[in-house]
Structure 1
């Protein structure tokens, strides 16, 4: 009897049911789209951060910034004098990025701190190479002038010295700069190299701690026409390329990766590192681990992914703030309005059905039965709105993913530099910014769908509550007043 009457009433009041369901559907669809876009924003930001410090890294530890004016000066280059005028001159300089290093023992100390699951050290280097040649100028003799001021034989003037000028000559040099990262080959689960995938060849072997081997970034390999099996010379040392890596997003951490010991030798920085990559045992205790390291390991700066996220600007940050702020509040307002409208429409429908409900009560229906009937109709309207809302929301999320709007993320340094010194300049210079283009997606999770179903049921119950309250107060006498 309940379902028969329910089906008949919903069919008879199709327009009213459709209006209520549409209002709820709009609010539910907006919630799905905003939630999905917010999830996409979060994933995009995670992808940006992973491109900086590597997958699995929760924080990095670097040496505390030195006082202004301290550290090394500008790089100097020296060239040998050679007899051959056209001989090519070449000189390079290997420098620690940021000129700030920590003792390798710091890695062990940090790894032993409470809450730390793993710690790996790395040495970030920058190589400046100058190639070119000097060319001697040619002396062009001119006719001289005699004491009388006229030209005399032999091209000499009144002083008896040859008269002329030097033409041509000079110097032509190219300055190239590239980055080299010394990685701990025995612990390859942390660090910037984890943000890249080996697309050709292989990665380092754990036994190659002091081997002259290298992994080259694919973009740099293409630019310099490098490939596996070929060699690359760094400060006079030849390294055999064993693999080519490609960054998952954005730029790679370095142009070349070599074993940590080899990097320390090239930079004359034995037992030194620039960055310690740390993984926390519990992702919920990162701030606590940060405080522990800062307290127990003096002279260091600890930077977490949250710290670095604060430096993200550009359209990604703007869109993220919009989705998190305006989008969520808009969803709340629309949902509240949809629930209110659904309740008012249901209550109004009850007012128009006074004769019907009064007659049913006169026939023996209890107030509770009438209330259940109204709540049942409203609940069906809510579920119908939920189905429509989920469909519209999924279509909206799919549309965002299909369009994949490109967002720009600009990253500056937060002080410590999660990128192993990649944003470090020389002493007294501000850290350089990095710009990445990220394609936005709008993934829909099961939790979002369940939330939409809950909102649909909640909207139906709220609307039914309004109408049921009105229906329970009706008396059979009201039906007699409406008899025509």
Structure 2
């Protein structure tokens, strides 16, 4: 009887039911779109951080480099031997980049801290290569009668003074700088290289701890026309490129990756690292792990993904703030309005059915049964609105993904990284601008997406049910107050 009467009444009042369902659908669709955009913002930011940190990294441990005036590393200095004739000269400077080096034993100390699942060390290097040649000048005797000529009688002339001048000569040098990252080949599941995928060749073997092999970043390999099997020379050592790695998002942490031990040898940094990458046992305890490391490993800087996220600015940050703040309150306002409108429409519909409900009560229906009937109708309206809202919301999210613009994530120089000179943790945040180690901000373009998750769908269903219950509560309250006499008064 309940469902028969419910079906008949909904068919008879299709327009009113559709209005209520449409209002709820609009609010639910907006919530889905806003939640999907917010989720896309979080995923975009995670991609930025992942491309800098490396997959699975919760925090990094570094040590800020002091300025050169206080005993820190000075800029590169080149020396060339004077040679007779045209001589080609080449010199490489390989030096740790961005941070003060830490003893390799620091990795073990960090790994021993409570809450740390694993820790891996890495060595970020900057290579500056100067290549060119000196051209000596040619001595040209002065012509007779030229100023200062004669038999030493002119100005500057004197016995033994050269009767000519040196012309031409000089130097022509090319300066090339790139970054090299020393990777622990026995633990490749953590660190900057994990933010790239091997798209050609292979990665390092665990046994290649001191091998003369390298993995090149895809963009750098394209620029230098490297491929698998090519050779690249770093400070007189030839490395075979065994793999090409493509960064998942943004720039790679380094142009070349080589085994950690070989990187330490090239830079005269035996048993040294610049960064320790840390993975925590529990992502909820990262703050406690950070405090433990700072306390038990003094003189270091511990930076978490939350710290790094604070340095992200640009259109990505603006869009994220907009989706989180404005979008959230807009969704709440629309939902409240939809629920109130649904409730008022339901009350209005009940008021127009005074004779009906009064007659039903006169026939023996109790107030509770009438109330359940009204709530049931409102629940169906809510579920229909939820289904429509989910369909519209998913369509809107996918449409937004299809036409979404690229957003820019600007990472401040304070963030630092294997490729940079700041105090932060992650790979490639700030690149060395040249031999002097000047740093600059880094901009990464990320395509905006609006993924619809199962949690968002569940939220939409919950809102639909809630909307139906609210509307049913309004209508049920009104219906429960009706008396059989009300119906008799309105009988003409």
- TM-score category, normalised to shorter length: over 0.9
Tell me the alpha carbon deviations over residues 276-335 of structure 1, each in whole angstroms, 9 at most, x when there is no partner.
001101111111111110010001000111110111111111111111111111111111
CA distance in 1, matches of 2:221, 2:455: 44
Residue matched to 1:81:
82
Cα 1:389–1:480 shift into 2, 3 Å: same
Q: Which SS does the other structure have where 1:483 is aligned?
A: coil
Tell me the alpha carbon deviations over residues 99-141 of structure 1, each in whole angstroms, 9 at most, x when there is no partner.
5010000001111111111011011000011111222234444
Residue 231 of structure 1: CA displacement? Answer: 1.5
Residue matched to 1:465:
473
| Contact 1:145-1:156 at 8 Å conserved across structures | no
CA distance in 2, matches of 1:420, 1:447: 32
Residue 219 of structure 1: CA displacement? Answer: 1.1
Residue matched to 1:318:
318
CA distance in 1, matches of 2:327, 2:183: 43
Written as runs of structure 1 = structure 2, the 5 A alignment for 1:273-312 is 273-312=273-312
| Contact 1:60-1:277 at 8 Å conserved across structures | yes
Residue matched to 1:395:
395
The number of residue pairs the alignment matches comes to 480
Tell me the alpha carbon deviations over residues 201-239 of structure 1, each in whole angstroms, 9 at most, x when there is no partner.
111111111111111111111111112222211111111
CA distance in 1, matches of 2:235, 2:428: 20
| Contact 1:218-1:244 at 8 Å conserved across structures | yes
CA distance in 2, matches of 1:319, 1:386: 27
| Contact 1:72-1:99 at 8 Å conserved across structures | no
Q: Which SS does the other structure have where 1:258 is aligned?
A: strand
| Contact 1:24-1:342 at 8 Å conserved across structures | yes
Residue 357 of structure 1: CA displacement? Answer: 1.4
| Contact 1:145-1:155 at 8 Å conserved across structures | no
Residue matched to 2:426:
419
Residue 8 of structure 1: CA displacement? Answer: 2.1
| Contact 2:21-2:385 at 8 Å conserved across structures | yes
CA distance in 2, matches of 1:129, 1:428: 13
Tell me the alpha carbon deviations over residues 42-71 of structure 1, each in whole angstroms, 9 at most, x when there is no partner.
111111111001001111000145367320
Written as runs of structure 1 = structure 2, the 5 A alignment for 1:46-65 is 46-65=46-65
Residue matched to 2:418:
none
| Contact 2:138-2:169 at 8 Å conserved across structures | yes
CA distance in 2, matches of 1:60, 1:409: 21
| Contact 1:122-1:420 at 8 Å conserved across structures | no
| Contact 2:251-2:428 at 8 Å conserved across structures | no
Residue 23 of structure 1: CA displacement? Answer: 0.6
| Contact 2:115-2:281 at 8 Å conserved across structures | yes
Cα 1:50–1:329 shift into 2, 3 Å: same
Residue matched to 2:351:
351
Q: Which SS does the other structure have where 1:69 is aligned?
A: helix
CA distance in 2, matches of 1:313, 1:81: 50
Residue matched to 2:267:
267
Residue 241 of structure 1: CA displacement? Answer: 1.4
Residue 181 of structure 1: CA displacement? Answer: 0.5
CA distance in 1, matches of 2:295, 2:220: 40
Residue matched to 2:19:
19
* Mean CA deviation greater in 352-361 or 23-32: 352-361
Residue matched to 1:130:
130
Residue matched to 2:449:
441
Residue 424 of structure 1: CA displacement? Answer: 6.8
Which residues of structure 1 form unaligned runs of 5+? none
Residue matched to 2:340:
340
| Contact 1:61-1:416 at 8 Å conserved across structures | no
Q: TM-score, normalised by structure 1?
A: 0.94
Residue matched to 1:3:
3
RMSD between superposed Cα atoms in Å: 2.3
* Mean CA deviation greater in 220-229 or 60-69: 60-69
Residue 153 of structure 1: CA displacement? Answer: 8.3
Cα 1:261–1:26 shift into 2, 3 Å: same
Residue matched to 1:32:
32
